[in-house]
Amino acid sequence: MAIEIPLQPSAGVRSAAFEMHPIKRAMPKSLPVSNQFTQGVASRWAAYACLALSMSLVGIYVALSKPLVALLPVFLLAWMRFGMAGVAMAFWLKKPADEPPMSRQTKWLVFLESFIGNFMFSICMLFGVSMTSAVSAGVILSTIPAAIAILSWLLLKERVGKRVWLAAALGALGIALLAVARYSRGSASGVAGAWAGNALVLAAVLCEGVYAVVGKKLTGSLSPKRICALINLCGFLLMTPLGLYHAWHFDFMAVPLHAWWLLGFYAMSASIITVWLWMTGLKTVPAARAGVFSVFLPITAALVGVFVLDETLTPIEVLAFVIALAGVLTATLPARRQSKGADATTMPSSSAYSQSPGTTTTP
């Protein structure tokens, strides 16, 4: 019996064939998953670079603020810093068209970020470095990663492992050794002043921890530029009464020209550059992991203290610094080891970058 083979496909076959075309046309859109993965990795490394550069600049201006507080009253110095930065980024205060109105919680977080992260941090840090050395401040500031991790555990409910608690203990040991070093080479009055200065720098560490945690919350609703401008404006308003009082009695002509250049660098880096870099990094990196990058702060502060301010390092201070930095490395080890497994926060799978355009993934 002869079998006829149709030259034209049947209606069912034809419809199935035509149904395949949209899939074929859609396949090229799903192929660049590796490209999206590569872009995600590049974005994450760019965020890491922002965080590292931010903390490096903080360490530099913390150390260089020591000669500034010798020439200017602390409250006047902080007030002028906020004022100069406010003029430079006045255009950032304008609300973008695509930004939703700030809720009451967001406004409260902006005030809290400015009061603790700007106002209180500036007071504690500037008074602290005026009574202790930049190297000592660097050792104490090395406890910031542990402080941020613990505050992230308390406030953001991020998981904190045993290694972070060990890092906090190592940081405390480094501070204790630093106190011993100061006591062994100073007079009673000098030791008392160093203790007070170290205590103020430690308070600044807690302020920095709150700053990082609250900043992580703010990046979900505001852009980094808006955060910079708003918290700087709040800091300026908070510091204005004390700043005006000291400005009324201060002889500005007695300040040398190089100090004004240093003040300009301090204002731009402390209120604009470092804040923008930090908030940009926090949009991608979790707060606890971002805190690890604050290790660059004490390193640069100590380097500036030794090579620019001609400070010296005793063997006990070197040991304290090594122990404190060992605590930072201890806090980073879990994240690095998890990257060998299925930790999506360290090495995201391709599915993390193949989501719909309206969703985001936090590495």
- Give me the pLDDT at residue 15, please: 46
**Torsion 338-150-65-302 (CA) sign:** negative
> Is the model more confident about 163 or about 219?
219
**Torsion 189-195-196-201 (CA) sign:** positive
DSSP 82-117: HHHHHHHTGGGGSPPTTSPPPPHHHHHHHHHHHIII
Angle at 233 between CA 304 and CA 294, to 5 degrees: 35
When mean pLDDT is compared over 67-81, 185-199, 286-300, 302-316, the highest value belongs to 67-81
- Give me the pLDDT at residue 2, please: 52
In the predicted structure, residue 321 carries a pLDDT above the cut 60? yes
In the predicted structure, residue 68 carries a pLDDT above the cut 70? yes
> Does the predicted model carry a pTM greater than 0.85?
no
Residue 343 falls in which region: left (phi positive, over 0), alpha (psi -120 to 50) or beta: beta
Determine phi and psi for 361, rounding to 5 degrees: -125, 135
pLDDT classification of 338: cutoffs 50, 70, 90: very low
Contact between residue 104 and residue 287 where contact means Cβ atoms under 8 Å apart: no
258 vs 269: CA distance, rounded Å: 17
In the predicted structure, residue 168 carries a pLDDT above the cut 90? no
- Give me the pLDDT at residue 193, please: 65
pLDDT classification of 32: cutoffs 50, 70, 90: low
Residue 208 in 3-state DSSP? helix
Q: Where are the chain's structural domains? A: 52-336
- Give me the pLDDT at residue 179, please: 61
pLDDT classification of 238: cutoffs 50, 70, 90: very high
- Give me the pLDDT at residue 355, please: 34
DSSP 3-71: ----SS--HHHHHHHHHHHHHHHHHHHHTTHHHHHHHHHHHHHHHHHHHHHHHHHHHHHHHHHHHHHTT
